[in-house]
């Protein structure tokens, strides 16, 4: 629990740094409830933004207690509270702000915010009420969290353009949102990106033995049926790290140049009792069923 709070605190501090040093001085806004607080803060005074963030987040946190459970709320509440606190004290820590070209503000500020939000998400929390709304809508209506958050952010950026009668900052904010999203994906997935590989081949037995014995990688054999041929066939399912992909493809095509390979990115791999251990250690537990 202490480690979780530490990650939430670090992520909240980094996020507050990005908002206070990069976003506010350059008239950029974040998405969701934080963005709404920043819009109102530009009208009543930026010193009110930390309090506005808490006020705007409260209804969504209350909804989370009803639909997502207290375990989730106990991660969200500290994240939002620490974020607001760091926003409040940030001027006392850093007396200067960043002013530069639009591309510098978008890339650097968005990248820093993405790192902060990514750390918070990795710790099981979130900063924005629209993410909570996205989880609830996904649970009840099937829309993805990303779709809900994106729609809400478009509404916030559009509102900013109408309120301030200037569309350049909202458009830059939308571009920054893309940078934030890409950066937090990198923080969550990390460098050790894993991939799932499905191999369909008439020489599946040879490929199976070679992958397990030559590369030392476990796999699972699934049974399928051809849609046109109606013939039963075996499908090899393998989970590997990104750097192992080239070796697997080279081995498969060396044995069967006509083999079919399907590759997908995986954001997380968990294997029961091995949960929390590095994937490189846990992958040996994969078995041939």
Top mean pLDDT of 83-97, 133-147, 222-236 is at 83-97
- pLDDT tens string 203-234: 999 999 999 988 888 899 999 887 787 788 88
CA pair distance 38, 16, nearest whole angstrom: 12
Sheet holding 220-225, edge to edge: 220-225, 232-241, 194-200, 260-266
Which residue in 160, 184, 182, 188 sits closest to 172, CA to CA?
160
Which residue in 3, 87, 6 sits closest to 41, CA to CA?
87
**Model confidence band, residue 277 (pLDDT cutoffs 50, 70, 90):** very low
Whether this model's pTM surpasses 0.75: no
Residue 134: the pLDDT is: 84
The CA R_g of the chain, rounded to the nearest whole Å, is 23
CA pair distance 269, 256, nearest whole angstrom: 28
CA pair distance 24, 57, nearest whole angstrom: 19
- pLDDT tens string 163-182: 888 888 889 998 998 898 88
Q: What does the domain layout of the chain look like in residue ranges?
A: 2-189, 194-285
CB distance 109 to 22 below 8 Å: yes
Secondary-structure class of domain 194-285 per CATH = alpha beta
Residue 197: the pLDDT is: 93
β-pairing verdict for 194-200 and 220-225: unpaired
Question: Beta-strand (E) ranges in the chain?
Answer: 194-200, 220-225, 232-241, 260-266
- pLDDT tens string 49-90: 999 999 999 998 898 888 887 878 888 889 999 999 999 999
CA pair distance 191, 56, nearest whole angstrom: 35
For residue 247, CA distances in Å to 93, 210, 242 come to 50, 11, 10
Name the least confident of 20-34, 89-103, 147-161, 269-283: 269-283
Residue 210: the pLDDT is: 92
For residue 229, CA distances in Å to 153, 233, 256, 259 come to 48, 10, 20, 16
| Whether the predicted pLDDT of 275 surpasses 60 | no
């Amino acid at each position: 629990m202490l480690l979780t709070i530490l990650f939430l605190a670090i992520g909240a501090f980094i996020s507050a740094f990005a908002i206070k040093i990069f976003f506010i001085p350059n008239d950029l806004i974040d998405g969701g409830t934080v963005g709404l607080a920043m819009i109102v803060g530009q009208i009543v005074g930026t010193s009110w933004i930390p309090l506005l963030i808490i006020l705007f987040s409260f209804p969504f946190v209350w909804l989370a207690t009803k639909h997502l459970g207290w375990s989730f709320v106990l991660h969200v509440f500290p994240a939002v509270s620490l974020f607001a606190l760091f926003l409040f004290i940030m001027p006392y820590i850093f007396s200067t702000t960043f002013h530069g070209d639009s591309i510098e503000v978008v890339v650097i500020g968005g990248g820093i915010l993405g790192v902060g939000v990514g750390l918070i998400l990795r710790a099981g929390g979130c900063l924005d009420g629209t993410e909570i709304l996205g989880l609830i809508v996904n649970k009840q209506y099937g829309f993805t969290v990303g779709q809900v958050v994106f729609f809400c952010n478009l509404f916030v950026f559009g509102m900013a353009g109408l309120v301030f009668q200037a569309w350049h900052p909202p458009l830059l904010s939308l571009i920054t949102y893309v940078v934030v999203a890409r950066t937090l994906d990198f923080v969550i997935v990390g460098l050790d990106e894993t991939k799932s590989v499905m191999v369909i081949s008439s020489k599946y037995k040879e490929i199976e033995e070679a992958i397990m014995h030559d590369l030392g990688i476990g796999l699972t054999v699934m049974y399928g049926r051809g849609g046109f041929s109606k013939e039963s066939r075996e499908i090899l399912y393998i989970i590997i790290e990104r750097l192992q992909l080239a070796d697997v493809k080279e081995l498969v095509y060396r044995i069967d140049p006509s083999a079919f390979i399907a590759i997908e990115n995986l954001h997380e791999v968990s294997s029961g009792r091995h949960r929390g251990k590095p994937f490189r250690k846990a992958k040996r537990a994969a078995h041939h069923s």
